[in-house]
Amino acid sequence: MRLLSRVACLFTIVVINGCSGTSRHEVFGIERTGTYHRGGCPPVHMAKTVMMTREEARARHLKPCPVCKPDSQ
């Protein structure tokens, strides 16, 4: 039963937010590097990240990643 509820939750996240699991306004911040990224950017998978909005990332003085360009549409 637990597995079924986890699968249902994951399915809901993917359907509502897309495959990355985030909305288009959410980014992944990496405090250590002082940057924020889109979900598919390689550094996101190699570092400890915090999901936040772009506005929260800017308020924390994080800079957008020059590779994945999280501020572009």
User: Quick one: pLDDT at residue 16?
Assistant: 38
> Domain map of the chain by residue range?
25-73
Structure tokens that stand for 42 in this block: 């390689």
pLDDT in tens, 7-59: 444 443 333 344 444 566 899 999 999 999 999 999 999 999 999 999 999 99
